[in-house]
């Protein structure tokens, strides 16, 4: 496996920390995420947002008709927003991936703490071991929000990590 996709490790449980911030968003016109306006059949502009609320990742799609102004919003719907969803892929296409890495020398002796974080997220023992190896090797890659949550969880256990852009977005930015 060239890189371990953070979405396969499992989504974190909700937290009572109230912090909410937008990690990334993009403007789209129709495409695979929406059809015509349900009121007037006009073209729809879509805004895709990824937010972190405590330890919970939220995806939101806001649609607005360019003709009549009708607006609708979908939040965190599991039937629409899963790890392989068009929403996640759209975010990756527009803003690129974020890489999370931990220096093996700096974090020597913290492997059990790292394993515990991945196990708590639902990884099997083998998946957690692979994730730890990737973390101190080439890094783990995911959306900015996925990696921000994982970085917070690892840091809370004393693991020192870095986040950096990984791979270009569709517009060529890194």
Other beta carbons less than 10 A from residue 112's beta carbon: 9
- Residue 133 is encoded by which pair of tokens? 């190896």
Task: Name the band, by pLDDT with cuts 50, 70 and 90, for residue 61.
Answer: confident
61 in Cβ contact with 48 (< 8 Å): yes
Task: Name the band, by pLDDT with cuts 50, 70 and 90, for residue 120.
Answer: very high
Q: Residue 75 and residue 61: Cα distance in Å, rounded?
A: 7
User: In the chain, pLDDT over 70 holds for what percent of residues?
Assistant: 71
Question: Residue 6: what pLDDT?
Answer: 39
Domain spans of the chain, in order of start:
6-13+97-166, 20-95
Task: Name the band, by pLDDT with cuts 50, 70 and 90, for residue 83.
Answer: low
pTM: 0.72
Using CB atoms within 10 Å of the CB of residue 71, give its burial: 0 to 12 exposed, 13 to 18 middle, 19+ buried: exposed
């Amino acid at each position: 496996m060239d890189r371990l996709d953070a979405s396969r490790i499992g989504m974190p449980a909700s937290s009572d920390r109230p912090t909410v911030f937008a990690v990334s968003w993009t403007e789209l016109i129709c495409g695979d995420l929406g059809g015509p306006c349900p009121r007037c059949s006009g073209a729809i502009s879509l805004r895709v947002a990824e937010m972190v609320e405590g330890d919970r990742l939220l995806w939101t799609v806001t649609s607005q008709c360019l003709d009549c102004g009708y607006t609708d919003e979908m939040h965190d719907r599991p039937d629409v927003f899963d790890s392989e969803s068009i929403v996640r892929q759209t975010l990756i296409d527009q803003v690129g991936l974020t890489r999370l890495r931990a220096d093996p020398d700096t974090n020597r002796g913290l492997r059990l703490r790292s394993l515990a974080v991945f196990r708590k997220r639902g990884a099997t023992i083998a998946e957690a071991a692979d994730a730890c190896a990737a973390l101190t090797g080439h890094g783990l890659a995911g959306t900015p929000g996925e990696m921000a949550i994982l970085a917070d969880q690892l840091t809370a256990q004393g693991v020192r990590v870095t986040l950096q852009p990984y791979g270009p977005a569709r517009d060529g930015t890194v």
